[in-house]
Structure 1
Amino acid sequence: MTDSSPHIVWFRDDLRLSDHPALHAASMSGAPVICLYVLDEVSTALAPTARPIGGASRWWLAQSLRTLEASLKRIGGTLVLRRGAAADMIAAVAREAGAGHVHWNEIAQTPHLAVADEVVEALADLNVGAHSYAGDLLVTPKAIRTKEGRGLRVFTPFWKRILAMGDPAKPLPAPTKLKPAPGVASDKLSDWKLEPTTPDWASGLRGMWTPGEAAAHKRLDLLLKGAVAGYATDRDRPDREATSRLSPHLRFGEISPRQVWYAARFSAAEQPKHAADINKFLSEVGWREFCRHLLFDVPDLATRNLQSSFDAFPWRRDDRSLLAWQRGQTGYPIIDAGMRELWHTGTMHNRVRMVVASFLVKHLLIDWREGERWFWDTLVDADAGSNPANWQWVAGSGADAAPYFRVFNPILQGEKFDPDGVYVRRWVPELKDMPSKFIHQPWNASPLEFARAGVTLGETYPMPIVEHKIGRERALKAYATTRNS
């Protein structure tokens, strides 16, 4: 291969042009550049722990690929789509194009590292150069280890280590022009059937989200220039627009953690009065990092209890209650509002995520893995690290876990964080006319108040599927059994 042979950039969970080390390196070579995305759901290296993405994430992926293709077109590039095992598809494109080099950003997860190893082996057989770069984290997992060589299992010391390391490398600029490469056949995105058709359940997602790199930066900019004021406290209020909503953009790499870091640091320097709020926001990015590092050490995080004492936990099989939870028909307004928001928009407020997760695993004693699977399919930001780590945190079986005896009271949580019922009224419209005093415990309203609100418990809105006191006592008894076993 000569230096003038095309360079391939293998896009993965990094659907952006700026701060893209692999794309930057290929563009700086001066050679023609082929941008390639492979939808790989079949590589055997993925099978043990990696999963195909869920329905909501597939919808997001389709939009993000379209946006990426348009961005590449503006600088002279094209996006080639292939479906199949990554090593086979990348080698095939390299042969077809006569490529001399392939560049990609690493994903610090065991199955994805194994797939990359297969790509390296396939390219070696073709005498094609393979170049990988760190690109999805602030710090590589191997850089933060205990004396015994293990990753940290508690967030606070982990985040202190990150902060003590200083600023990460500065984000790289997006290329302004790509040298066109010979045409290579591409799949049609529509043939991948990533988006729902019959039925089309994605109207709420379309109304809520604008995927893509430009939208990610706009959302970050809006947060840091205004909404970040009061973030440290207001982020717990589902009745307010106080969160960043950056998680799906980070999940698909439309913006990088390094870009978020530097934007936040710059904003804190410019707005010292908001520094505490900005630092709290940045620590949330740190939690994502923590979960990814945890996943690096525990690739089966979505299926195995991190604390083995939970292997004997007496979970209940209760399909009827699970279905009521999934559909937002539990009889607890804050729970039902969260689950309906999730189904309609592909997201759920972070505070409410904790409350609905606690309700499933503690009030209902349903295995946390059932909830994790549901979130994996319905969240647009379903992340292989954060999703199972957060579920295990709530269940008490994970790293830095909440104590199992901490059972969220859905009534008190609603009254504290949605005091006027704004959030509940939006997502549980059958309760919109209930007095605020009873919006989180409608069963305590009087017959006259029910009549005025047009509510008939058990008909227009369900009775609670379990009483809070009974659910809490049952959970504590189950925990005591596990603890003493």
Structure 2
Amino acid sequence: MTTPVLLWFRRDLRLSDQHALLAAAGEGPVIPVYVLDDETPKHRKMGGASRWWLHHSLASLDKSLRDKGSRLILRRGKANEELAKLAEETGAGRVHAIRHYEPWWRNAERAVAKQLDLVCHDGNYLVPPGAITTGSGTPYKIYTPFWRALKEHMPPADPANRPHDIPAPSNWPKSDRLEDWGLLPTKPNWATGFEDWQPGEEGARNRIESFLNHAAEYDAQRNLPSVEGSSRLSPHLHFGEVSPGYVWHRSWQAGGSVDVFLGELGWRDYAQNVILQYPEYGVKNGRDKYDALEWRDFRSSTVRDEFDAWTKGQTGYPIVDAGMRQLWATGWMHNRVRMIAASFLVKHLLIDWREGERWFWDTLVDADYGSNTTNWQWVAGTGIDANMFQRIMAPLTQSEKFDAADYIREWVPELADLSDGAIHDPEAAGCRPKAYPEKLVAHRAARERALSAVKGL
């Protein structure tokens, strides 16, 4: 038997198009391992919804590995320490892993490399973050020229098939039991509405096939919450249950407006390039001038009450409330509604975008450091490439424009009996049910307050 090698899984929970796995399998017996590391990320450890997804994704990965004569070893603690222990226990001489770009994972990779022979591979993005640069060799900060340059490198390489077999060691090291990690909520079980999701590589493939049925109409349908024209691939891509290269090759010939969808894959790459340049993007404004913006004091009981109303879908703005209730019930929110709900918190309530980003981090099954922070800073106007703060999204107008009536009926049952004309703004229509709250703030007053706050910057 040759010396075994460790295969370190993180957000790459798949066997297909998995270059770290292929490299490891080519060297000798493979010991696949996932380390639940809550210490290295510190305040960026996975939120509740992501942990629910992780439990089911790891169970699916272990099954796939066992079908190949292998298995998944589970350990809990700091990644570098647990991998070093495993190497000592098994005599493993090398660690293969897919490269990650979140600042805590980059720190972990450096720590592992000091103790073990770490070999990192690419594969979680269309092109390795940092590889697309301007003519002068500097990273892009603005999405449009970045996407234009990225397209010159497309299509990505053909996806690699999973290996026919995975060599197993003569003796397996001890493993934690997944059930003992307590990733699933119990008292109470707030994830009963997550049952429509199918975490894992098979679920990702099924989601792609379902999306291909309407991929050609993506541009027309993705903004319509009642139609649900988005791909819903984001959690599968975040956890690496499918590679973006596979998604590209499977969908690019769908015709119609599928190019708009491919642009969203490009935005995902762009977000990783942003956090590679600005590791603190989740807590620091991309534009320094917004450091002087006076957000409403989050220590105030009034502000906290309004924030709580926003999280519970009790703002008095039906489209916002529908989105926030969908998020809590399913761990996901329609993309157009995410923008509306985020804009409402930042500009109507004048609450710091970081408070909203932290809420999404805990409640989204697709909570991704690059995408989440880049999107929040885009909406807030504080990002290096962002919407102007002065462009204040009107939720009532947006709701009607994008025909959200049926979406509101589904998630705000108090309004289910209202007509299409009244459901977007029942207060103005004079038919607000007693069970539905008044608006936290009037649109015009909120707009004036936001513009006043930013006027001196």
Does structure 1 residue 464 correspond to structure 2 residue 439? yes
Among candidates 49, 58, 74, match of residue 65 of structure 1: 58
Partner Cα distance (1:320, 1:103) in 2: 48
Does structure 1 residue 200 correspond to structure 2 residue 184? no
Cα deviation for residue 241 of structure 1 reads: 2.5
Does structure 1 residue 237 correspond to structure 2 residue 237? no
Look up the equivalent residue of 2:428 and give its one-letter code: N
Look up the equivalent residue of 2:339 and give its one-letter code: M
**1:27 aligned partner:** 25
1:220-277 superposed Cα distances (whole Å, 9 cap, x missing partner): 12212x1113111210000003110000000100011111121123xx1xx5xx2x41
Instruction: Kindly indicate whether the alpha-carbon contact (under 8 Å) linking 1:8 and 1:101 is maintained by their aligned counterparts in 2.
Output: yes
1:327-382 superposed Cα distances (whole Å, 9 cap, x missing partner): 00000100000000000000000000000111110011000001000000000000
**1:174 aligned partner:** 162
Partner Cα distance (1:230, 1:399) in 2: 31
Look up the equivalent residue of 1:245 and give its one-letter code: R
Among candidates 239, 255, 261, match of residue 281 of structure 1: 261
| Root mean square deviation of aligned Cα | 1.4
Question: Residues 321, 148 of structure 1: CA spacing in aligned structure 2 closer, same or farther, 3 A cutoff?
Answer: farther
Q: Secondary structure at the match of 2:216?
A: coil
**1:379 aligned partner:** 364
**1:74 aligned partner:** 67
Q: Secondary structure at the match of 1:230?
A: helix
Instruction: Kindly indicate whether the alpha-carbon contact (under 8 Å) linking 1:110 and 1:299 is maintained by their aligned counterparts in 2.
Output: yes
- Identity %, equivalent residues: 47
**2:109 aligned partner:** 116
Any unmatched runs of 5+ in structure 2?
Answer: 298-302
Partner Cα distance (1:390, 1:327) in 2: 21
Cα deviation for residue 149 of structure 1 reads: 4.8
**1:100 aligned partner:** 93
Partner Cα distance (1:401, 1:130) in 2: 37
**1:184 aligned partner:** 173
Partner Cα distance (1:293, 1:402) in 2: 19
Matches within 5 A, 1:41-60: 41-43=38-40, 46-47=41-42, 51-60=44-53
Instruction: Kindly indicate whether the alpha-carbon contact (under 8 Å) linking 1:108 and 1:140 is maintained by their aligned counterparts in 2.
Output: no
Partner Cα distance (2:356, 2:441) in 1: 18
1:183-204 superposed Cα distances (whole Å, 9 cap, x missing partner): 1100111221111111110101
**1:90 aligned partner:** 83
**2:153 aligned partner:** 165
1:3-25 superposed Cα distances (whole Å, 9 cap, x missing partner): 71112111111000001111011
Partner Cα distance (1:144, 1:380) in 2: 29
Does structure 1 residue 330 correspond to structure 2 residue 315? yes
**2:300 aligned partner:** none
Look up the equivalent residue of 1:74 and give its one-letter code: D
Partner Cα distance (1:147, 1:425) in 2: 51
Q: Secondary structure at the match of 1:237?
A: coil
**1:474 aligned partner:** 449
1:455-479 superposed Cα distances (whole Å, 9 cap, x missing partner): 53xx300010100111111111112
Partner Cα distance (1:184, 1:282) in 2: 42
Partner Cα distance (1:241, 1:441) in 2: 22
Instruction: Kindly indicate whether the alpha-carbon contact (under 8 Å) linking 1:414 and 1:440 is maintained by their aligned counterparts in 2.
Output: yes
Instruction: Kindly indicate whether the alpha-carbon contact (under 8 Å) linking 1:141 and 1:151 is maintained by their aligned counterparts in 2.
Output: no
Q: Secondary structure at the match of 2:369?
A: coil
Among candidates 333, 345, 359, match of residue 348 of structure 1: 333
Instruction: Kindly indicate whether the alpha-carbon contact (under 8 Å) linking 2:102 and 2:370 is maintained by their aligned counterparts in 1.
Output: no
Q: Secondary structure at the match of 2:226?
A: coil
Q: Secondary structure at the match of 1:141?
A: coil
Instruction: Kindly indicate whether the alpha-carbon contact (under 8 Å) linking 2:130 and 2:276 is maintained by their aligned counterparts in 1.
Output: no
Number of matched residues?
A: 451
Normalised by the length of structure 1, the TM-score is 0.90
Look up the equivalent residue of 1:67 and give its one-letter code: S
Partner Cα distance (1:92, 1:264) in 2: 42
Partner Cα distance (1:254, 1:287) in 2: 19
Partner Cα distance (1:113, 1:319) in 2: 35
Partner Cα distance (2:389, 2:114) in 1: 46
Cα deviation for residue 147 of structure 1 reads: 5.3
Partner Cα distance (2:304, 2:236) in 1: 33
Does structure 1 residue 10 correspond to structure 2 residue 34? no
Look up the equivalent residue of 1:84 and give its one-letter code: G
Q: Secondary structure at the match of 1:10?
A: strand
Partner Cα distance (1:208, 1:481) in 2: 47
Look up the equivalent residue of 2:30 and give its one-letter code: V
**1:321 aligned partner:** 306
Look up the equivalent residue of 1:479 and give its one-letter code: V
**2:200 aligned partner:** 212
Among candidates 277, 289, 297, match of residue 297 of structure 1: 277
Q: Secondary structure at the match of 1:142?
A: coil
Please, which moves more after superposition, 150-159 or 70-79? 150-159
Instruction: Kindly indicate whether the alpha-carbon contact (under 8 Å) linking 2:217 and 2:258 is maintained by their aligned counterparts in 1.
Output: no
1:400-433 superposed Cα distances (whole Å, 9 cap, x missing partner): 20011111111111101125x1000000001000
